[in-house]
């Protein structure tokens, strides 16, 4: 009888332990389609988190802005309030909440991705991460984005004068407006979710994004020309709701941080491996691709540098100067 009692006691104890160790569920929101590089990277992140926590944390990725209706300002607030657990969002879209983030998007600021990675890992990146604490957002890490290039439906853009009067969709950021206005274009701030229809209806002539975006969003259906301008290197913030983060154990925090760092390496490799593939897809779907000469790129860079005093005001003088000093 005593052995039976001990057996049932052990069974009850095991049942109570199993009930107390419940899986933690995380949702991760991304702004781009299912097949986009950022959503694929988020899926890899989810796989790594589940693997590193032995399934104690389960992850579901929601692409294409479905959790936030495509509105960047809403999603930042949703992340801070906790209705979204994790989010991958461009650094440029945080600029309306913290102007210092604008520094990353200054045209031709960084010479290559390695320099951008070093910047994000060093003190400037830490300052930017800390600036989101007041929004209830913990920055777990940063992922890089490939260079942004120009597409349009009207003409090949190979030199500064070719930008004249092109109606180009840009993110809702004064920096993009000032830069493309200086080139002679007509920038139109617009949420990404509206871009395809605006291109289709000829409300705008073109847009600019890393190569994976016109592929995953099928902009080749409504665009004829790709110009390899490489004008901006920006990044992704991988953020988590601060209260959610605080509720996690030290082991789970360590696992998520490691997973974010490993997923960054995965994405860097993915972007490098697929650059030519994306160009070929756009070509195969009828787009004409132009590689700009070094002389013409230098002229575009000079236009960008002529606007640096205005960019400095947008960023804030001290942080802009800190960024310039870092990249020199």
Q: How far is Cα 236 from Cα 38, in angstroms, rounded to an integer?
A: 9
Q: How far is Cα 287 from Cα 233, in angstroms, rounded to an integer?
A: 23
* Predicted pLDDT of residue 3: 47
Q: pLDDT of 237-256, one tens digit each?
A: 999 999 999 999 999 999 99
* Full DSSP string of 153-201: SS----SGGGGTT-EEEE-S-HHHHHHHHHTT-EEEE--GGGHHHHHHT
Mean pLDDT throughout 142-162? 97
Mean pLDDT throughout 292-317? 97
**71 pLDDT tier (thresholds 50, 70, 90):** confident
- Residue 72 reports pLDDT greater than 50: yes
Give this prediction's pTM: 0.89
Domains of the chain by range and CATH? 22-145+234-276 (3.40.190.170), 149-232+278-316 (3.40.190.170)
**21 pLDDT tier (thresholds 50, 70, 90):** low
Q: pLDDT of 96-117, one tens digit each?
A: 999 999 999 999 999 999 999 9
């Amino acid at each position: 009888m005593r052995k039976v009692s001990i057996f049932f006691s052990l069974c009850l104890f095991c049942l109570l332990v199993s009930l107390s160790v419940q899986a933690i569920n995380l949702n991760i929101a991304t702004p781009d389609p299912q097949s986009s590089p950022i959503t694929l990277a988020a899926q890899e992140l989810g796989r790594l988190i589940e693997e590193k926590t032995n399934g104690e944390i389960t992850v579901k990725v929601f692409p294409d802005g479905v959790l936030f209706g495509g509105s960047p300002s809403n999603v930042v607030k949703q992340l801070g309030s906790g209705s979204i657990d994790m989010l991958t969002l461009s650094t440029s879209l945080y600029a309306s909440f913290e102007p210092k983030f604008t520094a990353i998007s200054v045209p031709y600021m960084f010479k290559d991705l390695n320099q951008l990675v070093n910047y994000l890992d060093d003190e400037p990146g830490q300052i930017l991460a800390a600036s989101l604490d007041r929004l209830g957002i913990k920055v777990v890490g940063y992922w890089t984005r490939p260079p942004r290039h120009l597409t349009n439906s009207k003409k090949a853009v190979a030199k500064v004068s070719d930008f004249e009067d092109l109606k180009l969709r840009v993110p809702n950021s004064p920096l993009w407006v000032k830069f493309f206005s200086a080139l002679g274009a007509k920038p139109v701030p617009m949420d990404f979710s509206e871009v395809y229809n605006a291109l289709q209806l000829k409300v705008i002539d073109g847009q600019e994004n890393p190569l994976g975006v016109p592929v995953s969003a099928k902009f080749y259906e409504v665009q004829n020309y790709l110009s390899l301008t490489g004008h901006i290197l920006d990044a992704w913030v991988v953020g988590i709701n601060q209260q959610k983060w605080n509720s996690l154990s030290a082991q789970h925090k360590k696992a998520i941080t490691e997973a974010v760092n490993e997923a960054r390496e995965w994405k860097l490799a993915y972007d490098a491996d697929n650059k030519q593939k994306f160009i070929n897809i756009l070509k195969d779907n009828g787009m004409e691709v132009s590689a700009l000469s070094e002389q013409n790129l230098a002229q575009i860079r000079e236009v960008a540098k002529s606007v640096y005093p205005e960019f400095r005001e947008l960023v804030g003088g001290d942080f802009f100067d800190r960024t310039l000093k870092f990249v020199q």
